[in-house]
Amino acid sequence: MSLPDLSVTLPDTGPDDPTRPSPEEVAAMHRLAEVALGSSGQAHRCANFLLAWSDADRFGAYDPTDIWACDPTVIADTVTVFGLIARVSEYPELLDPTIRDALAAIVTKWRR
C-alpha cells in the first residue's frame, strides 16, 4: 500500500497564520513518526494514529484508548498533534511535506 499523492503548493501566509503548524507541532509530528518506526510497545499505536490521520479509509481508524498504553511524552505529542489536526483541518503531508517519507516507511512497516 502506498500513500496517495497529495502534492500541492500552499501559499506562504506568514508565521502567524493559524492554519499553519507551529514548529512545536511539526516537531511533535516527527517525534511520533520516529516512535512509530521503532520497536517499542508504543510504536504500533503511534503508527495507527498517524496513518489514521493520513487516510483512515485506507489505513484504519485510531482507537483513542490506545493512548492509555503510551508514556507521558508520547501522550503530550499526540495531544499536540490532535490539536493541530482540529485547528487546521489538513492532512499531514500538506502541513509538512518532509513527513511524507516517514509516513511511507510507517506504511511499509505496519501495513504490508
Name the residue with cell 483512515: 56
Give 2's pLDDT tier (boundaries 50, 70, 90).
low
Mean predicted confidence (pLDDT) in 43-67: 96
pTM: 0.84
pLDDT, one tens digit per residue, over 56-96 is 999 999 999 999 999 999 999 999 999 999 999 999 999 99
Q: What values do phi and psi take at 91, rounded to 5?
A: -80, 155
Name the residue with cell 509538512: 96
Give 5's pLDDT tier (boundaries 50, 70, 90).
low
Write out the chain in H/E/C secondary structure.
CCCCCCCCCCCCCCCCCCCCCCHHHHHHHHHHHHHHCCCCCCHHHHHHHHHHHHHHHHHCCCCHHHHHHCCHHHHHHHHHHHHHHHHHCCCHHHHCHHHHHHHHHHHHHHCC
Q: Look up residue 48 and give its amino acid.
A: N
Rg (CA), the chain: 13
Q: Taking 50 as the threshold, does the pLDDT of residue 24 lie above it?
A: yes
